[in-house]
Amino acid sequence: MTSLYRSETYIEEFYSRCVAAISEVTDDYEIILVNDASPDRSYAIARGLAERDEKVVLVDLSRNFGQHKAILTGLRYVTGDYVFICDSDLEEDPAWIVEFYGVVCESGSDVAFGVQIAPKGSMFYKLGSRLFYGLMRFLSRSDFPNNLVTARLISRRYLDAMLEFEEREVFLAGIWYLVGFHQVPVLVRKVSSSPTSYTLWRLIGLFVNAVTSFSNRPLHIISVFGLFLCILAVLIVLYLVYAKLVLGLQSEGWASVMATIIMVGGITIFFNGIIAIYVAKIFMEVKRRPISTVREVVTKEGCYKARHQSSSVGLGDGRL
C-alpha cells in the first residue's frame, strides 16, 4: 500500500517492483494506491494501472489530507492477511516485501518495521531527528526507536486492532506503537532520490503535533513547574519579611522586580499556549469529523464507490 503525492515519475516503476517482489511470495495480492490529491499526473497514471490490472485499486481522496491520514484511509480497504506499507518515491524499495515477510514468518511477529541504518539529510537535520526521537521518548515514556521509516509489514489482527483507533489528530508512529503486539525492527538503507521535504519548521510542527497527540506528560510538567514557582514565590516573600523585620534591610530594585514579572508572565503565556494546543485538539476530536473523504475508488471492473479511507499493498494466507 502506498499514498501518492507528486509521484508521477515513480508510479510505473513502483508498480513493476511491487509485482516482481510480491510474486516471490504469493500470486494472490492487491496493490492499493491512494491519491492524496496530488497536483501532478499521479491520478491519471494510477487510474490507468487500475483499469488494466484487476489487482490494482485506486482510492482517490477529495483533497490533500496528508500522508498519515491517507495511509489510515487506505488501510480500511485492505482485504489481505498481511499488509505491506511503504512510500511511493522508491526511496523505500518495494522489494523489501520479501525480507519483511521472511522476518515475520521466522519470528512469529505481527509487525516487521523498517529502521534506517543511516538517515539522509544534513548534519543539522540528523541532529534534529535524534533530538525529536529523544524528546518523544522522554515526554511519552515510550521506547520509540530512532530513524523509523514508513515501510512496515503488518498482520491482519494487528491491522484490525489498529483500525479501532479513531483519532482525528493523527500521529501514525504513535498509533503503531500503542497497538502493541510483537514488533520486530528491520535495518534498511533508504535511497536518497531527492532532498528531504522536512524543513526545520515542519519538523517543529511535526514534533508539537506528535507530542500533544500522543502524550499528556507536558501538562504534568507544567503542573510541577507551576507548583515549583509557587513555592519559590512563598520562599522569596518569607525572606523579604525576615530581611525587613529581623535584619532591618530595605528591599530596592524596581528593575529586578519588572524583570521577574516579565519572566513569570512569559512563562505563563507559554504554558497557556501549550494548554491551548491540547484544548484545540479536544475541540477537533469531539467534532468527530472523518479523517478523510474519498472521491472515488477505481478498479478494473469499473466499481466506483465512496468511503472514508485509503491505500495499501496487502498479503494474505500468503496473500499480499
The fraction of the chain above a pLDDT of 70, given in percent, is: 65
Same domain, 86 and 103: yes
Q: β-pairing, 82-85 with 111-116? A: unpaired
In a domain, 166, yes or no: yes
Same domain, 69 and 190: yes
Least confident piece of the model among 16-30, 120-134, 139-153, 269-283: 120-134
Owning domain of residue 263: 217-287
Would you place residue 255 in the very low, low, confident or very high pLDDT band (cuts 50, 70, 90)? Answer: very low
Would you place residue 306 in the very low, low, confident or very high pLDDT band (cuts 50, 70, 90)? Answer: very low
Which pLDDT score is estimated for 272? 75
The pLDDT tens digits for 259-301 are: 567 567 767 777 777 777 777 667 666 767 777 778 888 887 7
Give the C-alpha separation, 142 to 148, whole Å: 14
Would you place residue 235 in the very low, low, confident or very high pLDDT band (cuts 50, 70, 90)? Answer: confident
Would you place residue 51 in the very low, low, confident or very high pLDDT band (cuts 50, 70, 90)? Answer: confident
Which pLDDT score is estimated for 84? 92
Would you place residue 309 in the very low, low, confident or very high pLDDT band (cuts 50, 70, 90)? Answer: very low
The pLDDT mean for the chain works out to: 76
Would you place residue 253 in the very low, low, confident or very high pLDDT band (cuts 50, 70, 90)? Answer: low
Same domain, 11 and 42: yes
In a domain, 138, yes or no: no
**pTM, full prediction:** 0.69
Same domain, 60 and 101: yes
Q: Is the pLDDT at 139 greater than 70, yes or no?
A: no
In a domain, 127, yes or no: no
CATH of the domain at 178: 3.90.550.10
Which pLDDT score is estimated for 205? 67
In a domain, 190, yes or no: yes
The pLDDT tens digits for 98-108 are: 889 999 888 88
In a domain, 133, yes or no: no
Same domain, 261 and 282: yes
Same domain, 163 and 227: no
In a domain, 129, yes or no: no
Same domain, 7 and 93: yes
Which pLDDT score is estimated for 199? 58
Least confident piece of the model among 207-221, 239-253, 255-269, 303-317: 303-317
Q: Averaged over 20-35, what is the pLDDT?
A: 88
Same domain, 277 and 154: no
Same domain, 115 and 172: yes
In a domain, 305, yes or no: yes
HEC secondary structure over the chain: CEEECCCCCCHHHHHHHHHHHHCCCCCCEEEEEEECCCCCCHHHHHHHHHHHCCCEEEEEECCCCCHHHHHHHHHCCCCCCEEEECCCCCCCCCCHHHHHHHHHHHHCCCEEEEEECCCCCCHHHHHHHHHHHHHHHHHHCCCCCCCEEEEEEEEHHHHHHHCCCCCCCCCHHHHHHHHCCCEEEEEECCCCCCCCCCCHHHHHHHHHHHHHHHCCHHHHHHHHHHHHHHHHHHHHHHHHHHHHHCCCCCCCCHHHHHHHHHHHHHHHHHHHHHHHHHHHHHHHHHHCCCCCCEEEEECCCCCCCCCCCCCEEEECCCCC
Same domain, 93 and 234: no
In a domain, 205, yes or no: no
Domain count, the chain: 2
Contact 84, 75 (CB under 8 A): no
Would you place residue 153 in the very low, low, confident or very high pLDDT band (cuts 50, 70, 90)? Answer: very high
Same domain, 232 and 153: no
Same domain, 188 and 241: no
